Structure 1
Amino acid sequence: MKVVIIEDESLVAESLSTSLKTIRPGIIIECILGSVKESIDYFKHHPQPDLIFSDIQLGDGLSFEISKHIEINVPVIFCTAFDDYALEAFKVSGIAYILKPFSIDSLENAITKFEHLKIQLTGDMAHQYEIAMQALASYKLKDSGTFMVKYRDRFLPISFDKIAFFHIEYEISSLYTHTAKTYVIPETLEELEKKLGTSFFRVNRQFLINRNAILEVKDHFPRRLKVNLKIPFNKDIIVSKEKRKILLDWLQQ
């Protein structure tokens, strides 16, 4: 079975690839694509595989956008962090999905389902994409999800609401949880901003902060703001006068 993975989180893609080969040793991972644009370009010049595993939200848009440019004629299994309620429409439209962090059992069940149903599902994917897109149109896609971090020899899923803030220093990015645990991550703050939702705010060049991690905001001379966090942190977090109003408006939303 030939498989293409569409996933912009490299750690998640690697973990998924390894798990699929464990479940079905005969699986061939033809390609790992990281964006809507890259996927469109790839499928324009390569034959479609037997099966696609795809994240829903990519850095440059929703993976559903691919079907507006390329006619997808093979089954797709979505790997997503959205909850079951938000994805009820997928059951109706026939699209299978697995929730992150996925398990070997959930992958096995999804593959087995598609092995049984791929004849009926193949050829109608564009219509199913449209139904799914409409169902998620009003859902706050980026405000819920899971961030994968590599810790020693393990991949750890950390939900967005467990993350207090991200900090970069000496070109090293770190993730801090509300329980004061710290993990070094490969992404830049610019990349993280694209993946996270309105619950996070880039207060300056070094900090991307979750609203729920902020204890208080104080005036700081001249016309700046100082952010105090709910967890101990030994560096001052200063907001420029240019961002002062934007931050206050964001906190009031």
Structure 2
Amino acid sequence: MKIIIIEDELLVAEDLAANLKQIQPDIEIVRIIGSIKEAVAYFTVNPQPDLIFSDIQLGDGLSFEIAKHIAIQVPVIFCTAFDEYALDAFKANGIEYILKPFSTQALSGALDKFRNMQKVMAGNIALQYEAALATIAAINQNNSATIMVRYRDRLLPFALNKIAFFCLDNELTYMHTHSGKAYVMPESLEDLENKVGGIFFRMNRQFLVNRNAIEDAVDYFPRKLRINLTLPFEKEIIVSREKKNKLLAWLAQ
């Protein structure tokens, strides 16, 4: 079995490699990768292994972001220091996790699960990555997180849970609050999407919407969705059929 380890702490990676070899001597550690950038560069020109062991938090971001650049086709077992709440959320997505510091028993159990679920785990790994990334972002973001808005000669802090959505209108970006106020933002929707994390969803080119501002989603011909908000808003928010399943999965988390 060929394995790649993605871990930015070399001693931890080497310890993991030694433990895996002890459990199963025929395991081949193909490479130890230390960053998202290195992983993307490696997988761009090299074949993927049978299995990946990956830390979640790397020096240059969350390892889930690798799947934004490379189509990961093999199962991934994550080594994480996140608490049980996070693990429960992740396991709902069907990926295996082991807590740091990991034990031989935990590693052995993870390998057993890989062998038993190999085909299932590999079948929808890209969707699992996206869902896990959204979960982590949502955990890292909380109601105390804020966005600063310049209004006339003042800077106003807005908690993320007070913001209903962002929209692009006539080449300007607007922030709309639940109270019905709107403010012009200097950032693009892409920049804001990176800031606010998984509690917002990019519905289309024009709208970035907070989960708590969604009243419901209804079918819209042909095979699209229309988003109804909890606050009055005249324009329709339509989600394409390509994004429909991803949105429904996000709403179901």
Provide the TM-score with structure 1 as the length reference: 0.55
TM-fit CA distance, 1:138: 2.8
1:34-45 equivalence runs, <5 A: 34-45=34-45
The question of 1:113 aligning with 2:113 is answered: yes
SS of the residue corresponding to residue 115 of structure 1 reads helix
Match of 2:46 in 1: 46
SS of the residue corresponding to residue 135 of structure 1 reads helix
Question: Gaps (5+ residues) in structure 1?
Answer: 142-253
Aligned-pair Cα RMSD in Å? 1.1
> In structure 2, what is the Cα distance between the partners aligned to 1:124 and 1:9?
29
Question: Gaps (5+ residues) in structure 2?
Answer: 142-253
Match of 1:89 in 2: 89
TM-fit CA distance, 1:86: 1.3
TM-fit CA distance, 1:123: 3.0
Match of 1:228 in 2: none
> In structure 1, what is the Cα distance between the partners aligned to 2:7 and 2:126?
19
CA-to-aligned-CA distance 1:94-151 (integer Å, 9 cap, x gap) = 100000000000000001001000111113111001111111113249xxxxxxxxxx
Match of 1:3 in 2: 3
> In structure 1, what is the Cα distance between the partners aligned to 2:27 and 2:138?
36
> In structure 2, what is the Cα distance between the partners aligned to 1:89 and 1:73?
22
The question of 1:58 aligning with 2:44 is answered: no
> In structure 1, what is the Cα distance between the partners aligned to 2:138 and 2:92?
18
% identical aligned pairs: 60
> In structure 1, what is the Cα distance between the partners aligned to 2:7 and 2:140?
19
Match of 2:32 in 1: 32
Match of 1:133 in 2: 133
> In structure 2, what is the Cα distance between the partners aligned to 1:50 and 1:99?
21
SS of the residue corresponding to residue 122 of structure 1 reads helix
* Conserved 8 A contact 1:72-1:123: no
Match of 2:22 in 1: 22
* Conserved 8 A contact 1:3-1:29: yes
The question of 1:101 aligning with 2:104 is answered: no
> In structure 2, what is the Cα distance between the partners aligned to 1:104 and 1:22?
9
> In structure 2, what is the Cα distance between the partners aligned to 1:17 and 1:34?
14
CA-to-aligned-CA distance 1:194-215 (integer Å, 9 cap, x gap) = xxxxxxxxxxxxxxxxxxxxxx
SS of the residue corresponding to residue 120 of structure 1 reads helix
Paired AA for residue 5 in structure 1: I
Match of 2:124 in 1: 124
Paired AA for residue 35 in structure 1: S
> In structure 1, what is the Cα distance between the partners aligned to 2:104 and 2:24?
11
TM-fit CA distance, 1:59: 0.3
> In structure 2, what is the Cα distance between the partners aligned to 1:65 and 1:136?
11
> In structure 2, what is the Cα distance between the partners aligned to 1:85 and 1:139?
9
* Conserved 8 A contact 1:6-1:55: yes
> In structure 2, what is the Cα distance between the partners aligned to 1:107 and 1:28?
15
> In structure 2, what is the Cα distance between the partners aligned to 1:62 and 1:120?
24
* Conserved 8 A contact 1:9-1:34: yes
Match of 2:153 in 1: none
Paired AA for residue 60 in structure 2: D
Paired AA for residue 73 in structure 2: N
Paired AA for residue 74 in structure 2: V
SS of the residue corresponding to residue 79 of structure 1 reads strand
> In structure 2, what is the Cα distance between the partners aligned to 1:31 and 1:92?
29
